[in-house]
Every structure is written in C-alpha cells, then in structure tokens.
Amino acid sequence: MDKKIYDRMNDILKAEIKPAFGCTGPIGVSYAAAEARDAVGGTPIRIKIAADKDTCAKNGDVGIPGTTYKGIGIAACLGAFAGDASKKLEVLKGITPEDEKRAYAFEKEGDIQVIPDWETEKIGVFIEAEVETENGIGKAIVAKTHSNLVYKAANDTVLVDQHFERVGNLDETKDPITEFGIADLYEYATTIPIEELYWLREALQMNRALSEKAMSGSTGIGLGAQLMENAGGDIIRRAKAWAAAGSEARMGGLNMSTMACATSGNVGITGSMPLMSLAEDLGKSEEDLLRALAFSYYVTCFGKNRIGRHSAMCACVVAASCGVAAGTSLLMGGDLQTAMGAINNTVCNVFGVVCDGARYACALKLSSAVGIAIEGAMLAKKGIILPANEGVTGQDGQATMEFLGQFAKKGMLYTDKFLCQELYKKLPKL
C-alpha cells in the first residue's frame, strides 16, 4: 500500500478515535450549550435545546460524569453554566459540586426547553443550542458528530458558519471512509509499519482503566465483576466481562474519560477491550494486538458509517461486533477470507438488534455481542462459515454489512421513530 494511502487511512481513523468524558449523547448537548454560552459570555438566564429525536429520547437513563443526575436537561445546564467548550467531548471535565448545584437548580426552576425533532427524514446527530445571558443570545449548532460545530453566533454576529444543510450534509455516503472496502482495511491493518499504530496504545490504556474501576467495585452495579467471577478460565467469557465492565463504568457516569470510536464511547470499549483480553490470554504480542485493534476499529467505523451515527440498530451490537469478529480473526492468524467469514457468522446472529438508548443494559447487550463475534471468528478460523447469500448474509462480509446498513437506514426509520416517541414519554418532563 502506498504511503499516501497509509497516511490518508491513518488520518481517517485518528479522526474517529477520540477521548470522550461521559456518554456522547448528553455530552454533545453539553458541548453545544457550552459553545452557545461561550459566544456571548455571562450567566445563563434562558436555555433552549432543539435536537434530533434520538438525542432527546435515548439519553435520559445514562449517568453524567461529575454529577449524580441524568438527562438532557441537566446536561444542557451543566454545559451552559460550567462547560469548557474548548475541550470538545471532554467539555464537562473539571466541573465542581458547586457547578452541579447551580445547574440542577436551574433545571428545576429556570427557563429551559428541550424540543425533540420527530421528523423521520431528518436523521443523524443535530443539536441546536440557544443560551441567553445578560450579554445577549448565543447560538450554536453541533451536527453529524457530537463535537462537530457547524454554526456559532453572538447576537447578530456570526462567528462560525460551515453552511451546514440539515439533511444533505448528514448524508454519510460521501464520508472519507467510503473510499475504502474491507479488503483495504485488512491491508492497512496488516502491512502498515507498526510504529504508525502506537498511538492506539492510549485507547487500550484509557479503556482498560475504566474497566478496572468497575471490576474493583468502585462504580456501577457489579455486572463486570460478576461476569468475570463467572468466567473462570474461559477466554470468551473473560473478554465479555472486560467489555461489560468498561460500559458499566461509563453508563454509570464514572468521572473518567474513555476512548470513543465513531463518536461513541461504548463502541470504543466494545471494539478494544475484548481484543486486549484475548491477546493476554492467548499470549499474543503487542504488535499482534495493535494490528487487530486497528482492524477492529476500522471495520467498526465502516459499520457505523453504513447504519448511521444515530441508528435504529444498536451500534455496539451490530457494528462493533463486526469489528471484534474481524479483529479476533486477525489476532488468531486468520486472513482476509477468515475475517469476511467471521463478519458473516456474526451478523446473522445480531442483525436488527435495536438501540433503546444509553443505560446499564448496554453493558449486557455489548457483552452478548462480543461473545457472538469471538465465536464467529473462531468458527471462521476453522473454516466453518455460514453459506453466502442466505437470509441477510451477502456474498462476503462487506456485502453483508452493506445490506445491514441499508436496512438500518431505510427499513427501520419508522421503527426508530416509534421507539423514540415511546421512550420520550417515559422521561421526566422539565
């Protein structure tokens, strides 16, 4: 592979692998609110959030780092009162108990609105924040990804304007990753000079620290620790436990950052922790692990691009599982055909699993998907691959993932709308 292509692919992957402090759903709202407040400065007296249906409906049950509260309302208030916009997805890093008190008081007694957009044709991440202070009105729009600022204004002065079009620019079929197929991702992961992948060490260190906190009983509800206790010496169960623990810590609002993949911390955990666990249990080298991780993350990004940043399907279960299947096959010495077979073996088991929002249950869902992915890869390594073109599977793993994406984006639009509306009804009203 030509060095220019290596560099291009490295840039794409690095753009998708970023630290995030807290679940990116509510954190995206905090970031938008912080940018709006930053535009004018001062103390908020009115906050208005208009966001896509998934942001509004699927983030009411997840913990927010540095607080004891949950929900989009408190996330908006924390961002407006105390967020540091320059930190992007780590916007709430450093907030104090006093900040939490002010934000909570405003959510309960202040002028705050959260308005969902229920129009099904307007899909994808879209968060518009308006914050009024004694200095006037600040506006900010974050779209497509949770830290992509496309518009910012102070009163009548426009500070940032990417001329973002609400529907057209959310089209992910033109994203840079669409330039490459899974064969390209495999070649990248297996042939790029290993020193070019050393930056992925941080993802392993950061996500492992998160998992270890849950394993120690310092956070969460005990899912990861119990799964590890149940695992005994089974390497698949151990890998599942490591993944579940990281998600559990994050869903509980642990005051630590995670390394997100494709703007999702849970996806980043799912794509990395099982491979770390397997590499240790199988005695693999750091190079083996980093190459498998690069392949896993890239296939995961490929999958998320197909199903959408906000999808009716659970990204951890249907996209990151494909990454784990591909990464596991590489870790065990499999070739491209093995990886394609591992993806097919996996997708037929996880196809259509819906996303019902961020919550502790995510830890169990992604843990189950990890087990399916690893078993699918182990079967593929033995030459046991489900027949092509049966049911939802295609001719190979890439064709299967393409169909998966089409079904998620087109076939499940109204499923997602109905689910979001029902979830929204259950949330406490501001």
Confidence (pLDDT) at 428: 86
Lowest mean pLDDT among 89-103, 109-123, 141-155, 317-331: 109-123
Rounded CA-CA distance 199/219 in Å is 28
Can you tell me the distance from the alpha carbon of 172 to that of 314, in angstroms, rounded to the nearest whole number? 17
Structure-token pair, residue 30: 């905090």
pLDDT value, residue 259 = 96
Q: What is the pLDDT of residue 379?
A: 98
Reported confidence tier of residue 120, pLDDT bands at 50, 70, 90? low
pLDDT surpasses 80 at 121: no
Strands of the sheet with 149-154, listed across from one edge: 111-117, 44-52, 126-133, 136-143, 149-154, 157-161
Q: What is the dihedral of CA 46, 52, 54, 59, to 10 degrees?
A: -20
pLDDT of residue 169: 73
Q: What is the pLDDT of residues 199-234, one digit of tens each?
A: 999 999 999 999 999 999 888 899 999 999 999 999
How far apart CA 164 and CA 142 sit, in angstroms, is 10
3-state secondary structure (DSSP) of residue 404: helix
d(C-alpha 198, C-alpha 364), whole Å? 30
**40-80: pLDDT as tens digits:** 999 999 999 999 999 999 999 999 987 888 999 999 999 99
Specify the pLDDT at position 98. Answer: 95
Give residues with Cβ within 8 angstroms of 122, minimum separation 6.
52, 166, 167, 170
Which parts of 134-231 are beta strand (E)? 136-143, 149-154, 157-161
Quick one: pLDDT band at residue 122, thresholds 50, 70, 90? low
Q: Could you give the CA distance from residue 428 to residue 73 in angstroms, rounded to a whole number? A: 10
Average pLDDT over residues 88-116: 95
Reading the block at residue 244, the tokens are 């579940």
Q: Are 316 and 366 in contact (CB under 8 A)?
A: yes
Q: Does residue 323 contact residue 303 with C-beta atoms inside 8 Å?
A: yes
Indicate if the pLDDT at residue 170 is higher than 80. no
pLDDT at residue 173, as a whole number: 81
Specify the DSSP element, H or E, that contains 205.
helix 201-215
- pLDDT-derived band at 287 (thresholds 50, 70, 90) equals very high
> How confident is the model over 127-169, as pLDDT tens digits?
999 999 999 999 999 999 999 999 999 998 999 999 887 777 7
Instruction: Indicate whether 194 pLDDT > 70.
Output: yes
pLDDT in tens, 260-275: 999 899 999 999 999 9
Inform me whether the pLDDT recorded for 171 exceeds 80. no
Query: Residue 108: which residues within 8 A CB-CB, separation 6 or more?
Result: none
SS3 label, residue 26: helix
For the chain, the C-alpha Rg in angstroms (whole number) is: 21
Please tell me the predicted confidence (pLDDT) of residue 426.
Answer: 92
Q: What percent of the chain has pLDDT over 90?
A: 87
The per-residue pLDDT for 55 is 95
In this prediction, residue 220 carries a pLDDT of 86
Distance in angstroms (rounded) separating the CA atoms of residues 373 and 270: 11
Q: Are 295 and 339 in contact (CB under 8 A)?
A: yes
- Interval 9-36: pLDDT, tens: 999 999 999 999 989 999 999 999 999 9
* Pairing status of strand 157-161 against strand 111-117: unpaired
Mapping DSSP to helix (H, G, I), strand (E, B) and coil, where does residue 136 land?
strand
Instruction: Please provide the average confidence, as pLDDT, over all residues in the chain.
Output: 94
Kindly give, in sequence order, each residue whose CB lies less than 8 Å from that of residue 5, ignoring residues fewer than 6 positions away: 188
In a 13 Å sphere around the CA of 428, the CA atoms on its Cβ side amount to 11
Phi, psi of 68 (to 5 degrees): -110, 10
Do residues 331 and 352 make contact, with C-beta atoms less than 8 angstroms apart? no
* Predicted TM-score (pTM) above 0.85: yes
Helix (H) or strand (E) holding 357, with range, is none
